[in-house]
Structure 1
Amino acid sequence: MTTETKTIGIQSLQIGLNILEILAMEKEPLKFTDIQNLTSMTKSNLYKYLSTLSQFGLIYRNPHTNAYTLGHKLVQLGNVALGQSSLIEVVIPYFKKITEKTNLTVLLAVPTKKGPLISYILSADYGINIGAQMGTHLPLSSSTGVVFSAFEKDILMKEWEEKELSKFNESELQEFQGEKEKTRGVFFASKTEPLIKHVSSFSVPILNFNHELMGAITIVGITETVPKSADHLTGQYVLIVAKEISEYFGFRK
């Protein structure tokens, strides 16, 4: 007989955090009645929570409109958290686990106006020429490029995408659009790399709390060793890793 262990939490703290999440998700100032409708709390209880959160700078009430927004303290704490954990610092231990488990090369690509930029590479022990190094911009026709096209919202990246798409013929455009739509659904793209023959890759996105693309994890290896489907055990493993990293930055699917 197994005993289920339940996580014990502080209910009042959970309620306070819920109010903060509501203010964050609505993305516009909310009045007292708006928050009450969204939380179903009594007026007296809600007033106590809002007063306490205001005292600590976690929320702010505009004295002219009486509407509430997130407070300066959260911005301060967020900046400290970001300063303590850059994306590269966070991914390094995960990348080590990936290479140990798969014996494949793993790289991190981040957004720039010139396209996905390789900002970190951890090579497999046997080594492989992937046709790129740190500082290389990857093309739209790569698995990383497909992930960036599927999830990147930055208008500067869209200019890069349009420039890249102008190089495609009609059949290539149709094929790419199909890959892009599929990638949005499964969070996974695979390709035979355009940079060098006999090398393939697959990529998965890293997203933040606002569902914005922070970067992509790309696994590279000899074509025969790289899975082409998210259903493959290696693909599933890397997807789980990407999900953990994304959740660290506040992502919730």
Structure 2
Amino acid sequence: MAEEKKPVQIQSLLVGFSIIDLVARHGNPMKFNDIHHYTKITKSNLYKYLNTLTSLGVLHRDKESGLYSAGSTLIEYGMAAVNQEDISLKVTPYLEEINLLSKETTLLAVWTHEGPMIIKMIHSRAGLNLGGQVGTLLPIHSAGGKLFAACKKGALAAEWKEKQMTGLSAEVKKQLEQDMNHIPSDGIAFASDALAPSVASAAIPVFNYEKTIIGAVIIVGFSDNIPAQADEPLGKALLEKSAEISRQFGFQN
């Protein structure tokens, strides 16, 4: 019987994916020397692989600590593969409903290694783009940023929050902390002038069955058209939508 031939493989790709697999599965950011220890790749070649992978965003290298972890591009690939718990697919009909209700730009943001990122956008009726674009990372003083800072748990979220707070005045930090303290109980976040002058935003969470925030639905528009309090009619409608969307992911209030 003829011996079955093995498919031809590209060795450098296998090596690159072995590094990605190691870092992604390790659970904690890794030092260069730790990666070298586990992979046994020569240091000169390992530098080349890591530089390439970080330049592509597949891995992330912290500028201060030098530690390597999964990058935003790798996270986006993962989100595409598992559809972020089907979040984009399941939430899109609700985004459309909220867009029709508010007549304002409506966004879906999810958590990445570098902070909350917009992955879906429906423009306002007027066609204005006031909320960035797909791939935009939201700052902590935006409604979506405040929402994730208040609800997202874990070391990565804490590190992101700390970095975002760096350089802010004591007064601004105090106001942000006050706003974030109310968000878990209010179930909604508000911000003004965060993305552009005279532009406001409101954000509601999407929770899963583990009561973990997996996304944020955000409306962005001129300040006069965006609610600033939960008891306003549009604020109440958004809270109802938050509960309705989260139930699609097994969340029970």
Q: What TM-score do the two structures reach when normalised by structure 1?
A: 0.65
2:247 maps to which residue? 247
Counterpart secondary structure, 1:149:
helix
* Aligned amino acid, residue 249 of structure 2: F
- Alignment deviations for residues 192-214 of structure 1 (CA, whole Å, 9 cap, x no partner): 13221111101111111111110
1:231 maps to which residue? 231
Counterpart secondary structure, 1:111:
strand
Q: Distance in 1 between matches of 2:100 and 2:180?
A: 30
1:155-170 correspondence runs (5 A):
155-170=155-170
* Aligned amino acid, residue 126 of structure 1: A
Deviation at 1:85, TM superposition (A): 6.2
Closer, same or farther: CA 188–131 of 1 in aligned 2, 3 Å:
closer
* Aligned amino acid, residue 119 of structure 1: I
Q: Distance in 1 between matches of 2:160 and 2:124?
A: 30
Q: What TM-score do the two structures reach when normalised by structure 2?
A: 0.65
1:203 maps to which residue? 203
Counterpart secondary structure, 2:115:
coil
1:106-121 correspondence runs (5 A):
106-121=106-121
- Alignment deviations for residues 24-53 of structure 1 (CA, whole Å, 9 cap, x no partner): xxxxxxxxxxxxxxxxxxxxxxxxxxxxxx
Q: Distance in 2 between matches of 1:95 and 1:193?
A: 23
- Alignment deviations for residues 45-82 of structure 1 (CA, whole Å, 9 cap, x no partner): xxxxxxxxxxxxxxxxxxxxxxxxxxxxxxxxxxxxx7
Q: Distance in 1 between matches of 2:142 and 2:174?
A: 16
2:24 maps to which residue? none
Closer, same or farther: CA 188–97 of 1 in aligned 2, 3 Å:
same
Q: Distance in 2 between matches of 1:241 and 1:85?
A: 18
2:183 maps to which residue? 183
Which protein has the larger Cα radius of gyration, Structure 1 or Structure 2? 1
* Aligned amino acid, residue 194 of structure 1: A
Q: Distance in 2 between matches of 1:193 and 1:107?
A: 17
1:208-223 correspondence runs (5 A):
208-223=208-223
Counterpart secondary structure, 2:112:
coil
Asked if the contact 1:102–1:234 (Cα under 8 Å) also holds between the matched residues in 2, the reply is yes
Deviation at 1:125, TM superposition (A): 1.8
- Alignment deviations for residues 92-139 of structure 1 (CA, whole Å, 9 cap, x no partner): 111111111221111011001211100000112212231510000000
Q: Distance in 2 between matches of 1:151 and 1:227?
A: 20
* Superposed structure 1 runs of 4+ greater than 2 Å apart: 82-85
Closer, same or farther: CA 111–171 of 1 in aligned 2, 3 Å:
same
Deviation at 1:154, TM superposition (A): 3.1
Q: Distance in 2 between matches of 1:160 and 1:97?
A: 31
> Percent identity, aligned pairs only?
31
Asked if the contact 2:110–2:214 (Cα under 8 Å) also holds between the matched residues in 1, the reply is yes
Asked if the contact 2:147–2:203 (Cα under 8 Å) also holds between the matched residues in 1, the reply is yes
Closer, same or farther: CA 121–153 of 1 in aligned 2, 3 Å:
same
Asked if the contact 1:108–1:218 (Cα under 8 Å) also holds between the matched residues in 2, the reply is yes
Asked if the contact 1:114–1:157 (Cα under 8 Å) also holds between the matched residues in 2, the reply is no
Deviation at 1:170, TM superposition (A): 1.0
* Aligned amino acid, residue 245 of structure 1: I
2:141 maps to which residue? 141
Asked if the contact 2:99–2:106 (Cα under 8 Å) also holds between the matched residues in 1, the reply is yes
- Alignment deviations for residues 144-198 of structure 1 (CA, whole Å, 9 cap, x no partner): 1110011101321221111011122111111111100111110111111322111
* Aligned amino acid, residue 217 of structure 2: I
Counterpart secondary structure, 1:116:
strand
Asked if the contact 1:99–1:106 (Cα under 8 Å) also holds between the matched residues in 2, the reply is yes
Unaligned runs of 5+ in 2: 1-81
Q: How many residues align?
A: 172
Q: Distance in 2 between matches of 1:249 and 1:117?
A: 20
